[in-house]
Amino acid sequence: MSFCPNCGTELAAGAHFCAQCGTRIETTGAPPPAGFVQPSAPKTARPAASAAAASASDATEYAGLGRRFVAHLIDGFLCLIAYMIIGSMVASQTGGMTDDGFSMQGAPALVVILLTFIVTLAYFAMLESSGSGKTLGKLIAGIRVTDIGGGKASLNQALMRNILRLVDGLVFYMVGIILILRSDRKQRLGDRVAGTVVLRVRKAEHPKGEKSKSSIKFSMGGNPDFIDP
């Protein structure tokens, strides 16, 4: 490798004149002029995707018992409404209507229980496996269901985690509560078997003085996070 003795430009092999300044090259291989510094290769910037992935990983926060309890109350109320509607429909066909509502035993009662279970299972599974991963209760509580990697949960995963509510819900949900408290990812049995987690949804930051119209905040004594454990 040789350089122009006048301007320091790198010369092509066998060149007799400098392509930059036109200086005649008497001897090939002449060293560059004093003070000349060979430019270094530019540093490669960190890929934006990698930076975004790292940021997302740092922001991962598993939902605590407080927010999950709020979501469970809201969704449980919707399930109760479904039970009342289905019970009234079956009772009207089987003669089980009373002045206070309906009363059934045997096969009609089993039909109501089975239909209610199917409807509520479909409600949870379809919404938790959707792009948002949120039932109405989870939307209000600010949490969502994802797979272990933070991606969208599949329908099979959502079905599995909700079928196992039958086990997690034993003894006033103590089975699920104990498993959540003993899990680094705050997973109950249904989450562990299905390979899902429940994440807290962080609202996007807005410019100073601007508030999100769709944000729903819980507050008690000025603390917006009072429902977290």
Q: Does 118 score more than 80 pLDDT? A: yes
**Per-residue pLDDT reduced to its tens digit, 25-80:** 765 445 555 555 555 555 555 555 544 444 444 458 999 999 999 999 999 999 99
pLDDT band at 204 (very low <50, low <70, confident <90, very high): low
| pLDDT for res 86 | 97
Nearest residue to 138 via CA among 77, 200, 79: 200
Q: Tell me the sheet residues that pair with 200.
A: 143
pLDDT band at 219 (very low <50, low <70, confident <90, very high): very low
What does pLDDT average to over the chain?
81
**186: Cβ contacts below 8 Å, ≥ 6 apart:** 62, 63, 64, 65, 180, 197, 198
CA dihedral 124, 130, 135, 141 (to 10 degrees): 140
Q: And the tokens for 211?
A: 């508030």
The domain limits of the chain are 1-36, 62-200
Q: Does 168 score more than 90 pLDDT? A: yes
pLDDT band at 198 (very low <50, low <70, confident <90, very high): very high
**134: Cβ contacts below 8 Å, ≥ 6 apart:** 127, 128, 143, 144, 145, 201
The pTM for the full model equals 0.65
| pLDDT for res 215 | 45
| pLDDT for res 34 | 58
**Per-residue pLDDT reduced to its tens digit, 124-164:** 999 999 999 999 999 999 999 999 999 999 999 999 999 99
